Amino acid sequence: MEQVLQAGVLVGATFVTSALSAVAGFGGGVLLLPVFVAVLGTRDAVAVLTVAQLASNGSRVWFNRREVDRRLVGRFALGAVPAAAVGALLFATAPLPALTRLIGVFLLVTVAWRHWKPHVAHLDAAAFAAVGAASGFGSALVGSIGPMVAPFFLARGLVRGAYIGTEAASAVVMHLAKLIVFGAAALLTTASALVGLALAPAGVGGAWVGKKVVDRLPARAFVSVVEVGLIASGLLLAVTGG
């Protein structure tokens, strides 16, 4: 019964956060972190989240494949792949309380960053290797840093399918590098991989619902709800260590 309840929590959280992120405009991965940590533990949470994100990002790449900026993805990958591998190695050996507090602090920083840097500088394609490196390293340690990286893609002038597909393709490359290291370090088990894949349909369904809702309700209200949740979860994890 406990396992059934946990499965229900994970599926429900994946669906709801995916819908919220579709309306609010930033990543469901960061919203799922506190729930996954509470149910699965810190290490399993990041591994499962990586699989789930790989599946959901992969579908977005496919749906927008004709508009993906492959050159930008390649530049991003130059920095993201090695940095994600290094970050994943550190994640495998870091003490759990420290990792949990790091995730808590990251959630708080995410909210602050959104208000401090709503717009970022335009970077040329070559500079995206640095964005990839920061994204890969941070994502390996805290699961997802999409809200802090997405503005750089938007500043390139990417819109709609081009933005969604290019950002998702960059994330796929990064998550693949993380999963290879997680697998080598025995952090990614068959069970955690199956859990991540099982949650993928809930994420797709939530995104579909969010797309329908966004045309009817003000996004600012959802952003406020999401940010309050991030602050509360971040304080809890940062102070208690999970």
Residues 152-174 have pLDDT tens digits of 787 787 776 787 788 888 888 98
Out of 10-14, 79-83, 220-224, the most confident range is 79-83
* Domain ranges, residue 162: 29-240
CA–CA dist 228, 118 (Å, integer): 18
> Does 8 fall in a domain?
no
* Nearest by Cα to 110 from 139, 82, 131: 139
pTM, full prediction: 0.74
Pairwise CA distance, residues 73 & 131, whole Å: 11
C-beta separation of 213 from 19 below 8 A: yes
Tell me the pLDDT band of 138, cut-offs 50, 70 and 90: confident
- Asked if residues 143 and 33 have their Cβ atoms less than 8 Å apart, the reply is yes
Structural domain count of the chain: 1
| 20 is a domain residue | no
Q: Which two tokens stand for residue 142?
A: 């805290």
Give 88's contacts (C-beta < 8 A, 6+ positions apart). 140, 177, 178, 181, 182, 185
CA distance 145 to 139: 6
Within a domain: residue 11?
no
H or E segment and range at residue 105: helix 96-116
The answer to the question of residue 77 being in a domain is yes
Which of 26, 46, 49, 73 minimizes the C-alpha distance to 167?
A: 73
Quick one: pLDDT band at residue 235, thresholds 50, 70, 90? confident
Q: How far is it, in rounded angstroms, from Cα 7 to Cα 124? A: 43
For residue 4 the two structure tokens come to 């059934």
Domain assignment present for 13: no
How many residues are recorded in the chain? Answer: 242
Determine, yes or no, domain membership for 10: no
**What sign does the dihedral 208-214-217-220 (CA atoms) show?**
positive
24 occurs within a structural domain: no
Q: What pLDDT is stored for residue 241 in this prediction?
A: 58
- Tokens 């792949």 — which residue? 81
Most confident of 28-32, 173-177, 219-223: 173-177
